[in-house]
Amino acid sequence: MDSSHVEHDLVNILFTEAQIQQRLGEMAAQITEDYAGRDLLVVGVLRGAVMVMADLARAMPVHLEMDWMAVSSYGSGTKSSGVVRILKDLDTDISGRDVLIVDEIIDTGLTLSWLVNNLSSRSPASVEIATLLRKPEALSMPVEPKYVGWDIPNEFVVGYGLDYRERYRNLRDIGTLAPHVYS
Ligand code: 5GP
Ligand code: MG
Ligand code: MG
């Protein structure tokens, strides 16, 4: 493979494009069933959740609305700063709405537990979370996603929306980076 090709930097693929689509289809079916007859607002967490939102929403053959929030909890590297800030708020008034937050990964759970608290204070009918990936540390946080694609080991993964220094989001698969990328 050409060394300029972005996939060249992946050493280990955890989930292929096909596996991701299959799992999102299963999650979408469950969500569609659970929210039948309700007025669903799906909130994507920018920027990592863009791919998950696009595919999950299209796998749900029901009326729904989509909105986006941007929060920051990480710097440009691989470690959490422990600080959550709203960079872009919702455009939608969520009072009385059934809100489903869509994210690509829960690591420490800091971002989403903060976000659930924040959105809950706006009088929604409900707030739930769908995440494609969850790491072990999140299990000890007060954040309980209703829908989880996979639990994964405590490794830094990229692809399918997940970045390292804003790169690799456009990979179709999810995997880990070769050590040479970090050095
Ligand atoms: P948390 O607040 O749960 O610790 O982290 C949430 C955010 O950290 C995710 O939305 C994502 O942006 C980033 N993050 C956590 N783990 C990973 C990872 O393994 N790979 C990448 N690329 N980002 C991660
Ligand atoms: Mg995210
Ligand atoms: Mg990131």
* Helix (H) or strand (E) run with residue 24 in it: helix 17-34
Task: Give the 3-state secondary structure percentages of the chain, helix then strand then coil, rounded to 5.
Answer: 30, 35, 35
DSSP label of 139: G
Please give the mean pLDDT across all residues of the chain: 92
| pLDDT tens column, 62-112 | 999 999 999 987 554 555 556 788 999 999 999 999 999 999 999 999 899
Separation of alpha carbons 77 and 42, rounded Å: 28
Q: How far is the CA of 98 from the centre of ligand 3 (A)?
A: 27
| pLDDT tens column, 146-169 | 999 999 999 999 999 999 999 999
- Going from the C-alpha of 69 to that of each of 169, 175, 181, the distances in angstroms are 18, 25, 29
pLDDT score for 183:
83
Q: How far is the CA of 28 from the centre of ligand 2 (A)?
A: 18
pLDDT score for 78:
55
DSSP label of 5: S
pLDDT score for 77:
54
Q: Model pTM greater than 0.90?
A: yes
Grade residue 144 by pLDDT with cuts at 50, 70 and 90.
very high
Average pLDDT over residues 40-54: 97
Average pLDDT over residues 53-61: 97
Question: Cis ω on the peptide bond leading into residue 47 (within 30° of 0)?
Answer: yes
168 CA closest ligand 1 atom index? 22
**Which fold does the domain 17-152 belong to in CATH?**
Rossmann fold (3.40.50)
Average pLDDT over residues 105-134: 96
CB 115 within 8 A of CB 124: no
* Helix (H) or strand (E) run with residue 72 in it: strand 64-74
CB 38 within 8 A of CB 10: no
Residue 3 phi/psi, 5-degree rounding, is: -70, -15
pLDDT score for 40:
97
Nearest ligand to the C-alpha atom of residue 103: 2
- Residue 115 above 80 pLDDT? yes
Which positions are annotated as active-site residues? Answer: 107
